Amino acid sequence: MLFILCSFTANAQWYWQESFEAPYDNNRTKFVIDSSNAQNKWQIGKPQKAVFDSAYSPDNAIVTDTVNTYPGHDTSVFTILHSYMFSNIMFSLTFYYKLDKDAGSIARVEISGDDGLNWIDPMTEDTTYMFYWGGPKPRLDTSVHSWTKFQLNMEDWANAWPGGPLVFPHYRTSDTVMFRFTFASGNVVIPKDGWILDNFTVEDAIGEGYVAQVRQDDILHIYPNPCGGKLYLQDAGKNEGDAQLKIYSIDGREVYRASCEPNGGYTTLPLPNGMYILRYERGDRYAIKRLVINR
């Protein structure tokens, strides 16, 4: 209880990191390499390969074999187990990676919030679950030979519940969130190095110095949606003065911010066609909505 209290009042933040470097690798036990496949190639150590010749932060990383190229027709899996702590406005997974693969091999990240009953692929289901990216959306379908940041923000899904205002195919119903990493090779013709990952951060927080607001998605109605660039904001809550409107692109960039007067007419949005995430703040309340602009 004392740790949780201090987390909220001192800096309102909790996260863990792992770069596989002693003596700072206290979270290595969260990484579980699948032992059911005796040929699983995931190893933690110093990479010594043609393309993967160093870690993001020397010396160690997790890699599909520290020395050898990957074989054909093999599937290697490891899973990160994260104990979800807070009901919050921030929940993210960040790491750095390189890929050296042929067209027939698959690199995949998946997320489960129900102890592995259902898995979510953020590369194809990011809009379905209102995930957004902390930078350009990464690619796992092709070789990437420079260190690339993968930062996925999942707070809307992580704080939703069955029957609540946000409707998703699957919800986080467990206190443990699982991140599964799979590298599956096809018929290898030219030897390749595979997949290397390093410097993991899982942030589970309400934001440093942040005074928690109450999320109430049902207080806000937006229409029309899709809209042609003009949007009406109807606030069903109490009058608390002007509101703040923030709009984010799917890759997590803030593309619009303005003060607004709800129930006071249409707001003109100078944004191109596409899907967005709208955040509305007024007093101690906020709401999140999906928004589509289609002129």
Does 2.60.120.200 match the CATH number of domain 2-205? yes
Does 2.60.40.3080 match the CATH number of domain 214-293? yes
Give the domain ranges of the chain. 2-205, 214-293
C-alpha pair distances (Å), 294 with each of 229, 273, 274: 8, 5, 7
Rounded Cα distance, 277 and 249, in Å: 6
Q: Does position 90 have pLDDT exceeding 80, yes or no?
A: no
pLDDT per position as a tens digit, 43-72: 999 999 999 999 999 999 999 999 999 999
The larger pLDDT score, comparing residue 184 to residue 14, is at 184
pLDDT per position as a tens digit, 169-192: 999 988 899 999 999 998 887 899
Residue 190: closest CA among 72, 39, 107, 97: 72
Rounded Cα distance, 16 and 22, in Å: 15
Q: Does position 4 have pLDDT exceeding 70, yes or no?
A: no
Whether the model pTM is above 0.85? no
CB-CB contact of 108 with 141 (8 Å)? no
